[in-house]
Structure 1
């Protein structure tokens, strides 16, 4: 059983996409657009904007806090009959994310607040090297 199946239950994975990106701002744009396109192609255009925003926030966090020079980050999408799961993995397992209370004038610090409000479930999973931050949307 894959990690996605363990997290989402016994539902079979209908679609899966996994791609590694260089740790640059351009990659966040590319993975956000790819996620929106794939989710729509997989028959859930009503989830494309949410998936795109989740990928964008998680990939931005990976870029800012989890990436290391010369190491890629990975975006993985899985769709089961019940759940669309967005995962972003990076090589920095010692830097665990958590929502924080940004100041009114802070330009950053709201990404995980957005993820927590948008996703039906989110969390962090350790990897042999690094971590995976995931967010799940219930398929309606």
Structure 2
């Protein structure tokens, strides 16, 4: 199996981590726990829960809408300046995600609404192959906290 695209280089004076996962439901839980642990290890335990939630929602969207058989998806986590970023890259770029209107009876479709509510910023980037969806949390004190 190969990954869908090259990693972003680590930004100077920060923390960076990238892990590629197989397109199976268990990978969502693995990524969620890993991102939460990174937030703690990097000195921001108060953001671990929100970072884990963002990772979970972005990974679930990648799994449901962006993965191809035998192609990995990547979770990149970085801490630079005053933001913790969780970015998920998958190989399908032809359909870009966007929040949609839902009704109370809808069982699915709330993931990006949750991302929008929790994150301070989020966006979608088209890549040569696939897409990257990222979300950021503002961090009080940034790297010096």
Q: Compute the TM-score of the two structures, normalised by the length of structure 1.
A: 0.91
Kindly indicate whether residue 61 of structure 2 is the aligned counterpart of residue 61 of structure 1: yes
Matched residues, number: 133
After TM superposition, give the deviation of residue 106 of structure 1 in Å.
1.2
Asked if structure 2 preserves the Cα contact closer than 8 Å seen for 1:87 and 1:135, the reply is yes
Structure that is richer in helix per residue:
1
**Counterpart secondary structure, 1:116:** helix
Q: List gaps (5 residues or longer) in structure 2.
A: 1-7, 141-145
The structure, 1 or 2, with the larger RCO (C-alpha pairs under 8 Å, 6+ apart) is 2
Structure 1 runs of 4+ with >3 Å offset:
2-5
Name the structure 1 match of 2:101: 101
Q: What RMSD in Å do the two structures reach over aligned CA positions?
A: 1.4
**Counterpart secondary structure, 2:78:** strand
Q: 1:4 to 1:123 in 2, by over 3 A?
A: farther
Q: Compute the TM-score of the two structures, normalised by the length of structure 2.
A: 0.88
Q: 1:81 to 1:52 in 2, by over 3 A?
A: same
Name the structure 1 match of 2:3: none
After TM superposition, give the deviation of residue 95 of structure 1 in Å.
1.2
Name the structure 1 match of 2:124: 124
